[in-house]
């Protein structure tokens, strides 16, 4: 039996296993290919983050540091707690009407910010902020069973699959903000962030078949990686506050690496696959590497925002463009040789993103100085390139966010209450067809019907004083 013949007939189920792993949802809270999933602060959250051109509160440390010098009496401290119920559904997983769901209830990434008061600052303003930019912590397992015609042996095979996904991701930004009042209605500022990212993931799938002759075959695919990365980045902003309109512009720089290390591993095994000529095809390729260089890059972004101030109404709008990032190695694993065939295989973790233009609009109605209501709609387009062969993220569905709520004052404190809903989804057919270039027949038809559905509910509780 030649290697090319074995590869053509026997590697297919193994490739299928790995393809299913790549298609499964990896994240319920954070979307590595999304930039507007999480918002920060109290009113800014209710306005969907469409506040780059707004003079609001200490959330400006993140959205536009230039506005902070224009706030006449800014809060000395701001904090918000957002509880969320995100849910991802992979419909018809393995067979029709078999849905794979993952959901959690818990706090969403949020912001804590404060002002640093020193004598003699004059037109200068100093502050600090701490926000969680990304956060994931979940363990997902699912299974399916069906019957398909997979091998040269006549008749249907019983196909059973089990999948498990375990992932934990934390990305924290610690910031120090400086702002300066150039004129009475013009402010500039910059926030320097230290970004600390820790990410680990483990994906496993086991597929088993039994044909009409009583022969059993197994295919297992596993991929694991972990890395830490420390980086610096800067957000520069300018704000202009006129009688009826406020304007803002921000530039977020690409990040500068300080430190990064990681590990990566994979194990692909196939046993007992019938080749149709009386021979069995077995396969083993496994490799684990530690102490590797790791780097998670962030893009340049440019945002423009404006607020129109009417009698009792404020209209908010923001657009933000994020630059593309060409394919790069997050973990620089070395290629290795498959134990059973001598084939060279890659053990790298790679990433690639397209440019994205997000937009958001919000409205505020002022009943009194102590009672205001809000509503907003924002886009959250995926930056993942549908044609990419990178393997760090799979979230290529677009998300849309709706928020509504109010804030009210009691003595010197202000409280915020709000509700939100986000939704999105996409068909997996195109991605499956690319990843299963050798697939045909029943298996391809089985997978091209996959459909992702994303939804998330939010409850916002905040206060400032």
Across the chain, which has 465 residues, the per-10-residue mean pLDDT values are 39 43 40 80 89 89 94 62 67 54 62 85 91 78 72 71 83 96 95 96 84 78 93 98 95 97 91 62 88 95 97 96 95 90 87 94 94 96 81 76 91 83 66 37 47 78 69
pTM summary value: 0.82
**How far apart are the C-alpha atoms of 109 and 228, rounded to whole Å?**
19
Residue 151 pLDDT: 61
* pLDDT reported for residue 327: 92
For residue 318, what pLDDT is reported?
Answer: 98
Yes or no: say if 46 and 369 are a contact pair by the CB < 8 Å rule: no
Quote the Cα angle for 328-393-104, to 5°: 150
d(CA 106, CA 83): 5
pLDDT for the residue numbered 118: 85
Q: Secondary structure of the chain: what % helix, strand, coil (to 5)?
A: 10, 60, 30
Question: Quick one: pLDDT at residue 152?
Answer: 60
Which residues make beta-bridge pairs with 217? 209
What would the two tokens of residue 291 be? 């102490």
Q: Which CATH architecture has domain 3-398+428-464?
A: Beta Barrel (2.40)
Q: For the chain, what are the domain ranges?
A: 3-398+428-464
pLDDT at 106: 59
- Per-residue model confidence (pLDDT) at position 6: 37
Residue 76 is predicted with a pLDDT of: 52
| Element containing residue 107 per DSSP (H, E) | strand 106-107
Burial class (CB in 10 A: 0-12, 13-18, 19+), 213: exposed
* Res 414: pLDDT: 76
Closest CA to 249 of 186, 313, 192, 195: 186
């Amino acid at each position: 039996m030649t290697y090319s013949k074995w590869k053509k007939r026997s590697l297919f189920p193994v490739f299928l296993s790995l393809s299913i792993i790549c298609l499964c949802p990896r994240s319920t809270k954070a979307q590595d290919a999304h930039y507007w999933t999480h918002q920060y602060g109290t009113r800014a959250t209710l306005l969907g983050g469409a506040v780059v051109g707004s003079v609001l509160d200490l959330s400006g440390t993140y959205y536009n540091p230039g506005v902070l010098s224009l706030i006449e009496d800014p809060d000395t401290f701001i904090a918000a707690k957002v509880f969320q119920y995100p849910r991802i559904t992979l419909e018809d997983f393995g067979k029709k009407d078999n849905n794979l769901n993952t959901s959690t209830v818990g706090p969403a990434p949020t912001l804590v910010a404060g002002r640093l008061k020193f004598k003699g600052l004059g037109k200068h303003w100093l502050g600090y902020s701490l926000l969680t930019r990304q956060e994931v912590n979940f363990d997902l397992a699912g299974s399916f069973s069906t019957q398909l015609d997979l091998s040269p042996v006549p008749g249907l095979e019983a196909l059973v699959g089990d999948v498990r996904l375990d992932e934990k991701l934390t990305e924290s930004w610690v910031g120090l903000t400086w702002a300066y009042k150039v004129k009475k209605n013009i402010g500039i500022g910059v926030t320097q962030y230290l970004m600390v990212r820790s990410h680990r993931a483990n994906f496993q799938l086991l597929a088993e078949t039994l044909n009409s002759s009583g022969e059993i075959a197994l295919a297992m695919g596993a991929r694991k990686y972990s890395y830490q990365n420390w980086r610096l980045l800067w957000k520069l902003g300018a704000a202009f506050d006129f009688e009826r309109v406020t304007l803002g512009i921000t530039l977020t720089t690409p990040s500068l690496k300080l430190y990064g290390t990681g590990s990566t591993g994979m194990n692909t095994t196939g046993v007992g696959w019938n080749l149709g000529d009386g021979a069995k095809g077995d396969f083993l390729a496994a490799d684990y590497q530690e102490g590797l260089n790791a780097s998670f890059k962030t893009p340049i972004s440019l945002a423009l925002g404006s607020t129109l101030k009417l009698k009792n109404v404020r209209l908010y709008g923001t657009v933000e463009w994020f630059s593309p990032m060409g394919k790069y190695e997050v973990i620089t694993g070395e290629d290795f040789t498959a134990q059973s065939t001598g084939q060279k295989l890659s053990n790298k973790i790679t990433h690639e993103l397209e440019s994205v233009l997000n937009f958001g609009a919000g409205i505020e109605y002022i009943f009194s100085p102590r009672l205001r209501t809000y509503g907003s709609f924002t886009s959250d387009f995926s930056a993942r390139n549908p044609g990419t062969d990178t393997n760090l993220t799979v979230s290529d569905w677009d998300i849309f966010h709706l928020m509504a709520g109010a804030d009210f004052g009691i003595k010197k404190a202000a409280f915020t209450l709000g509700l939100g809903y986000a939704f999105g989804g996409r068909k997996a057919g195109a991605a499956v067809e690319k990843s299963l270039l050798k697939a045909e027949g029943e298996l391809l038809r089985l997978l091209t019907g996959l459909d992702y559905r994303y939804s998330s509910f939010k409850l916002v509780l905040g206060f400032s004083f």
